[in-house]
Amino acid sequence: MQIDRRLLIGSSLSLLALPPKAVLASPWPKIEGVTTWSESVMVLYFDEEARNGFSYRLSRYPDLKTSWVWCMAMVDGHIYAYADQFLPSTAEHERPDTATADYGVPGLDAHFIRNGTSQNMTSLSFSAHVNAHDGGKGVNGPGAIPLKLDGIFHPGPLRAGSPAGRFERTGKVDATISVAGRTISLSGVAKAHEQTQENPRFGPSFTYAMLWSADASLTGLFAGKRHYGDFDAGGTDRAITDFRIEKWSPERRFRATLDDGTQIDGIAHAVADIDVPVFDRVWNGHIVRAEAAGHRMVGMINDWKPEDQHYNLNAG
């Protein structure tokens, strides 16, 4: 009997069902809950109507020889998605203080190349030539639809509310998507981040909002006792000291308190959903249009283990 390597780690139920020798023979190490050096780099873009855009992320665990890629493209409201959390990795650590960084995956045409240090990035080029699935329903592994994404991100300033080790900013992107017989060019405001850490990724529940426009941007984390973020409008960047949000619905309200005490209320309107396989479950991503403090924005609000969250709009 031949066992698909993806099933060995893809779900805890599958692991329990396999004989002990098969589990031990798995070439893919356990990642969930492991303290190890890891890296992630990501770029997101959607047009003003949230009809065209992409979300592309590459994570590396060099000491575990494992990489993880997801690449989602939206063309005229239709989603194509690729995800694989069981890819190989080289052993080198890409660090934020080096003059350049090359995030890649052996055997897969997927790359991010940073010029400048993470603190003083001058550009972030990216490409993903993968085989996607039709729709965004959290399928792990390649699909049958060729998808090509190529582009470059020109960064703006770092955001005041980013935690240590995370470099988050909006900027301008120029990109091309080719999929399903179509090629479209995209240009406009986008969001990018880099993050290195040794703590485990995707542990306790969280909700993360990433919203932006030509004149404003908002990021907000709602996770246990951690409620913070950043709000930039008209060139003024303020840390968010408290961020609250309702549970997911087609019209989802959120509230942010800035470091000067100003309170901002906003609402996000659902456009489309994508599910990304993470360990033995899926991470729920929501593409939205939003309004806050008189600014119209687009972006994503992402929920990890929403059943464990205690959603509310009020502190305490």
Q: Which residue has the tokens 């396989």?
A: 277
More confident residue, 307 or 1: 307
**pTM (predicted TM-score):** 0.89
**C-alpha to C-alpha distances, 225 to 13, 17, 205, 243, 261, nearest whole angstrom:** 31, 37, 11, 10, 19
* Chain centre distance of CA 257: 24
pLDDT at 20: 30
CATH topology for 37-201?
AttH-like fold (2.40.370)
Angle, alpha carbons 9-179-49 (nearest 5°): 100
Angle, alpha carbons 168-199-91 (nearest 5°): 85
Mean pLDDT of the chain: 90
Closest by alpha carbon to 99, among 84, 79, 121, 67?
121
What's the rounded Cα separation, in Å, for the pair 133 and 81? 5
pLDDT tens track for 137-157: 989 999 999 999 999 999 998
Lookup: tokens for 39? 């890296």
Would you say 129 and 80 are in contact if contact means Cβ atoms under 8 Å apart?
no
* Chain centre distance of CA 204: 16
